């Protein structure tokens, strides 16, 4: 049995299979995921797990070279917005209109559904690489 890191079988497998430039859409439980999209459902109930918890776990497991968020996040989910700006270098955070984020989300490897229950809290993360 794995004793540390991400224990969720499908999420762990997805991360292990990611290459440079592959992207994941981390979405709230309010998000309308396309019917045929690959989905990893982590939502237990509204608010559990929070987007920040999922993002922190992913940061421990993978190299993130780009973070895309909706501009609307600043006014609707200030805690998450501040966390992203304090955690990631400014040059890797891209703020786009929510409609653009939705357009980009359909091109991700998978949707990771969280229990986050606040609008405009969706994030797209892009995998980086290590030369080590």
Do 122 and 25 touch, CB atoms closer than 8 A? Answer: yes
Which stretches in the chain have pLDDT values below 70?
A: 1
Specify the pLDDT at position 1: 63
pTM (2 d.p.) = 0.94
CB neighbour list of residue 19: distance below 8 Å, 6 or more residues apart: 127, 129
Active-site residue among 9, 20, 46, 78? 20
Residue 20 is among the residues annotated as catalytic for this protein: yes
**Angle of helix 51-61 relative to helix 78-87, nearest 10 degrees?**
20
Q: What are the C-alpha distances in Å from 47 to residues 44, 108, 115?
A: 8, 24, 5
């Amino acid at each position: 049995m794995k004793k540390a890191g991400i224990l969720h079988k499908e999420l762990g497998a997805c991360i292990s299979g990611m290459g440079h430039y592959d992207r994941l859409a981390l979405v709230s439980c309010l998000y309308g995921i396309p019917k045929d999209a690959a989905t990893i459902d982590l939502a237990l109930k509204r608010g559990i797990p929070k987007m920040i918890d999922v993002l922190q776990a992913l940061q421990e497991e993978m190299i993130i070279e780009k973070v895309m968020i909706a501009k609307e996040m600043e006014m609707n989910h200030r805690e998450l917005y501040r966390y992203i700006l304090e955690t990631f270098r400014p040059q890797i955070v891209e703020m786009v209109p929510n409609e653009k984020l939705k357009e980009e989300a359909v091109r991700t490897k998978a949707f990771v559904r969280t229990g986050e229950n606040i609008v405009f809290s969706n994030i797209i993360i892009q995998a980086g690489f290590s030369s080590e």
